């Protein structure tokens, strides 16, 4: 800890209420053993396949929970969000389930797969932003101007509580198998904070490690500066992690995440390829960073570990290019 003032975390009651709220609307995603990672690390490695969740990522958990908690009047006025792509799909799905209008701001260079799916779910896609942070500014302006409810991608406590339901699904396996480490992709920090809040409360001694790419290092730099900082985000395979975090989410994450490590772009490409070839798993760049950290020795688990594969929405052309490059 660095002495930074704390921010309230979602409580276990909040996460368990989210679990009940999401029952029948999200999948209990599987855990799959990875033999090549076990051989590489010398310890059992299980992959939590949120890449097989509805809309192809964990984001649906937080969005559905947050939208369900809005008042009927707020939903009737409509929803707005900023997204690198996966959260936008999740909000679009939640809006469709409630018969609500949804406006989603994305960076102009967001993957076509994600943009097409947002449109396919009936949301109004707006692509004028140059990056995620500008998309967030535009979404906030739209919310203020048009009276829409802003469903934030990572800072809303209801979103964080929804993401924490991933951890509830892991508890039995963690206890039965003696898991010591959980490794989580980190963008803005909502998933790591939700997972960490649950596991730190219920599993004494567990280590939570977050992973970012060298090109999406906002939370990494925040951990070292002791505060949220702005960092530029160049083009990256881990587009789902792009953008800055905020002070509130940094303060929450700092309470339950032990460390953040970085992986290179080439390590992410290798992880995508290995997951595809060795495990039969299609992962996007953001979804593969936890595996890249294990494969690269950036995380050295004390015992058995779980790596969350957080998303699988990768353009076919990009995946083919990565597989061709490695071959």
Query: What six digits make up the tokens of 100?
Result: 């609500």
CA pair distance 269, 311, nearest whole angstrom = 14
121 and 89 in contact (C-beta within 8 Å)?
Answer: yes
pLDDT at 326 over 60: no
pLDDT at 298 over 70: yes
326 and 270 in contact (C-beta within 8 Å)?
Answer: yes
Q: Where are the beta strands (DSSP E) in the chain?
A: 31-33, 45-49, 79-82, 102-107, 124-129, 149-150, 181-185, 207-213, 259-263, 305-309
CA pair distance 28, 82, nearest whole angstrom = 26
pLDDT at 81 over 80: yes
Tens-place pLDDT, residues 157-192: 999 999 999 999 999 999 999 999 999 999 999 999
DSSP state of 155: S
- Name 84's Cβ contacts closer than 8 Å, sequence gap at least 6: 106, 107, 110, 114, 132, 153, 187, 239, 240, 241, 242, 243, 286
Residue 139 has, within 13 A of its CA and on its CB side, a CA count of 29
Query: What six digits make up the tokens of 74?
Result: 């707020």
Q: What angle do CA 115, 119, 120 make, to 5 degrees?
A: 110
pLDDT at 43 over 80: yes
Tens-place pLDDT, residues 267-292: 999 999 999 999 999 999 999 999 99
Q: Where are the beta strands (DSSP E) in 130-283?
A: 149-150, 181-185, 207-213, 259-263
182 and 308 in contact (C-beta within 8 Å)?
Answer: yes
pLDDT at 3 over 60: no
pLDDT at 248 over 90: yes
CA pair distance 299, 210, nearest whole angstrom = 10
Instruction: Assign 42 to helix, strand or coil.
Output: coil
236 and 132 in contact (C-beta within 8 Å)?
Answer: no
Nearest 5°: phi and psi at 182? -125, 130
Longest dimension (CA), the chain: 55
Q: Taking the model in full, what pTM does it have? A: 0.95
Query: What six digits make up the tokens of 83?
Result: 């997204």
Supply the pLDDT for residue 126: 97
């Amino acid at each position: 800890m660095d002495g930074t003032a704390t921010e309230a975390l979602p409580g276990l009651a909040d996460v368990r209420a989210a679990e009940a709220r999401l029952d029948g609307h999200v999948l209990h995603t599987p855990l799959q053993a990875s033999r090549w990672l076990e051989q590489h690390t010398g310890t059992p490695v299980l992959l939590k396949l949120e890449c097989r969740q509805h809309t192809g990522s964990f984001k649906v958990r937080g969005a559905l929970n947050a939208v369900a908690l809005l008042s009927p009047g707020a939903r009737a006025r409509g929803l707005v969000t900023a997204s690198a792509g996966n959260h936008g799909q999740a909000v679009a799905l939640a809006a469709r389930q409630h018969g609500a209008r949804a406006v989603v701001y994305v960076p102009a260079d967001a993957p076509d797969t994600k943009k097409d799916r947002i449109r396919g779910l009936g949301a109004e896609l707006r692509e004028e932003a140059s990056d995620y942070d500008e998309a967030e500014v535009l979404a906030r302006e739209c919310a203020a101007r048009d009276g829409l409810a802003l469903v934030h991608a990572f800072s809303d406590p209801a979103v964080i509580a929804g993401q924490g339901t991933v951890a509830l699904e892991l508890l039995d396996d963690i206890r039965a198998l003696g898991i010591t480490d959980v490794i989580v992709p980190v963008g803005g920090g909502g998933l790591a904070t939700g997972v960490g809040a649950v596991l730190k409360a219920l599993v004494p001694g567990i280590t939570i490690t977050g992973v970012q790419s060298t090109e999406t290092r906002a939370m990494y730099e925040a951990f070292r500066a002791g505060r949220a900082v702005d960092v530029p985000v160049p083009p990256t395979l881990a587009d789902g992690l792009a953008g800055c975090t905020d002070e509130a989410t940094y303060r929450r994450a700092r309470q339950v995440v032990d460390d953040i490590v970085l992986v290179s772009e080439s390590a992410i490409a290798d992880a995508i390829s290995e997951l595809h070839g060795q495990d039969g798993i299609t992962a996007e760049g953001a979804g593969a960073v936890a595996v890249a950290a294990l494969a690269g020795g950036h995380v050295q688990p004390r015992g058995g570990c779980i790596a969350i594969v957080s998303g699988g929405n990768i353009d076919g052309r990009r995946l083919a290019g990565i597989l061709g490059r490695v071959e």
